[in-house]
Chains A and B, each alone.
Chain A
Amino acid sequence: MTERHWQRKLVDAMVRGLCLVATLAALVPLGLVLYYVTSRGIGGIDRAFFTELPKPVGETGGGMANAFVGTLELVGLACLFGIPPGVLAGVYLAEFGERRFAKLVRFSADVMSGVPSITIGIFVYTLIVLRTKSFSAYAGGVALAVLMLPTVTRTTEELLRLVPESLREAALGLGVPKWRATLSVVLRTAAPGIATGIMLAIARVAGETAPLLFTAFNNAFWPTGLGQPTASLPVQIYTYAVSPYDDWHQKAWAAALLLVGMVLILNVSARLLVRPRVRSR
């Protein structure tokens, strides 16, 4: 009896230990990636990096200022094209959609978030680039927006559902039409949470490379307009990383450090923002 008892305890302890080991194993790569990016990237960050254009092959120096601007442009366009539709679709699902149609939308959004980002690139290429006959910031922005859309929709829906029914009823009871109640009471109450979700979605698309390869493409010069091929940090990192030049590798690490820094800041601040709210619920 007692022997069996100890045996069971032992198995239990072993399984728990294995779970701990698995968790540590999962986190090791995170630590390694952050360590490498920091230690290799820090040396490449100087003033020229932020202010100058990339130098042609063979010349050292230069920066990737155009890629910063390009990334900002692309992410800005993505927000413009992706957030309003996403939020409204989320509002529909949470406030109006009780029927089969809402289920279909919800399901499509979930499924869409699993579609490989490279196929979104092909989609936008055939949709926009082939028609306008040019790679452009617009095309890149649309690709990133498509990527954001399901996340924004589902986040909005979920957060709107957390808003207590009594708030809706109170507003409607005051004689406010439903659309006003939704916009200025329900949506407003959920706004901080939704903003957090959107921040996370932005963090995700800011680092996307695959859908940009054949939509925004790349550009060694300053962006001259949204209809032009546009450089971006992730694509630039890719180009430099697979090149054979040491100087470019160094630049790739530096850009990686910035990109990771940006993503981390967005993620950590999203968490800090959402934390107290969840607790007080």
Chain B
Amino acid sequence: MALLGAEVNVGDLVFRGFAALFAVSIVLVLGAMALQMWVAARPSIAHSGWHFVVGRDWDPVRDSFGALPFIYGTVVSSLLALTIAVPISLGVAVFLTEVAPPWLRSPVSFLVELLAAVPSVIYGLWGIFALAPFLRNHLEPLLGKTLGFLPLFQGPHQGFGMLAGGIILAIMITPTISSVSREVLRAVPDNLREGALALGATRWEALRHAILPYARSGIVGAIILGLGRALGETMAITMVIGNRADISASLFAPGYTMASVIANEFTEATGDIYLGALAEIGLLLFAVTLLLNVIARLLVWQVARAPEGARG
């Protein structure tokens, strides 16, 4: 090449330029997304101000837009999902790296990945016709009877509601959290593991005292990635959460999420302010997930800065 400062191949320049152009386009698309959404949201930002994030009334007819119930629904359903999914996903990750015999690891991780491959709308369909009736007839009565003294588990059993939403989200983010944590655990240097085992530690003790401390920030990153997924997930949760803009302490009660209200109302929104309000919800969602993703990636990269491309 230009090692001797001699000829520079024109083809090389063109090719490199082309490739660089498309590489830039990724950054540009991300930037354009932020910009477009901000522009679309501006009428609403000007109209509602802070009322938008603290107000509870969502009344398009009167141009009154308070998105708090949606924010609440998104946060609560996602936290519920994390509560269910984190222990399970970490169990899966540990099982796949430390516990399972080697021949079992790859088929099981394939199955877990399939869980992520099932389209969201299919989970929603299943949620409507299988999960919600099951919750209404079995799980919610049971929870009401045993834990009914908590406000979380009071009220009529409806099936469709926050609990259904949380469970569906948990199912959908489990593969994300478990596969990233697995990657992180795998990136832990073997000599840590072997050192602990050689000192007579059991598998659990090696995990607890040698492996987890090293992998901690990566696992936190994995959980944050899962949270980001949960916050932005749309179809499945729209289909099971009940879509009512209430703030209720009970997990049995229906709720509404930010993504759901966009999905349900966007095509019907008339007027700049209404459309802007939905775009503002989108912008909030975008900003929050972007931030979470940045944090998570930094955390995960810290641990699993895999020797370039050493995945799979």
Contacts and interface: CB of A to CB of B under 8 A. Distances in A.
A116 B231 contact: yes
Interface stretch (B48-56, B83-91, B135-143, B144-152): B83-91
B121 A238 contact: yes
Contacts of B88: 22, 25-26
A217 B36 CA distance: 20
Contact of B99 (A19, A36, A110): A19
Contact of B30 (A111, A172, A241, A252): A111
Residue picked from B23, B112, B114, B207, most chain A C-beta under 10 Å: B23
Contact of A207 (B25, B119, B129): B119
A139 interface: no
Interface string B200-242: 0011110100000000000000000100110111110001000
A263 interface: yes
B128 interface: yes
A142 to B, nearest CB: 10
Interface stretch (A42-50, A52-60, A84-92): A84-92
A96 B20 contact: yes
B128 A20 contact: no
B130 A112 contact: no
Given A89-B23, A114-B289, A177-B12, A12 B126 contact: no
B203 A20 contact: no
Contacts of B124: 238, 241
A231 interface: no
Contact of A267 (B32, B117, B239): B117
A96 B15 CA distance: 10
A23 B101 CA distance: 14
B190 to A, nearest CB: 19
Interface in A96-144: 96-97, 101-102, 104-105, 107-112, 114-123, 125-127
Interface in A17-45: 18-23, 25-27, 29-30, 32-33, 36-37, 40
Contact of B12 (A86, A178, A263): A178
Given A108-B26, A204-B117, A19 B297 contact: no
A253 B128 CA distance: 11
Contacts of A185: none
B309 interface: yes
B189 interface: no
A253 B122 CA distance: 9
Contact of A105 (B26, B294, B296, B309): B26
Q: Among B22, B91, B119, which residue has the most Cβ atoms of chain A within 10 A?
A: B119
B33 A210 contact: no
A179 B14 contact: yes
A9 B205 CA distance: 10
Nearest to B25: A85
A117 B16 CA distance: 31
B230 to A, nearest CB: 10
A256 B12 contact: no
Interface string B74-95: 0000000000000111111011
**Interface range for B:** 35 or more
Given A36-B129, A252-B125, A116 B239 contact: no
B28 to A, nearest CB: 9
Contacts of A249: 129
B115 interface: yes
B257 to A, nearest CB: 10
26 contacts: A11-B204, A16-B203, A19-B92, A22-B91, A26-B174, A26-B178, A27-B108, A27-B112, A36-B126, A40-B129, A95-B19, A107-B294, A108-B27, A116-B233, A118-B262, A119-B285, A119-B286, A123-B36, A177-B9, A179-B14, A209-B234, A234-B121, A241-B125, A256-B122, A263-B119, A274-B312
Given A105-B26, A260-B122, 9 more contacts: A8-B202, A20-B95, A26-B89, A182-B15, A241-B124, A241-B239, A256-B122, A260-B118, A264-B117
Interface of B: 1, 9, 11-12, 14-16, 18-27, 29-30, 32-33, 36-37, 39-40, 87-92, 94-96, 98-100, 108, 110-115, 117-126, 128-130, 171, 174-175, 178, 202-205, 207, 225, 228-229, 231-235, 239, 259, 262-263, 266-267, 278-279, 282-283, 285-286, 289-290, 292-294, 296-297, 308-309, 311-312
Interface of A: 8-9, 11-12, 15-16, 18-23, 25-27, 29-30, 32-33, 36-37, 40, 84-86, 88-89, 91-93, 95-97, 101-102, 104-105, 107-112, 114-123, 125-127, 146, 149-150, 153, 157-159, 161-162, 172, 177-180, 182-183, 200, 203-204, 206-210, 213-214, 217, 234, 237-238, 241-242, 249, 252-253, 256, 259-260, 263-264, 267, 271, 274, 278
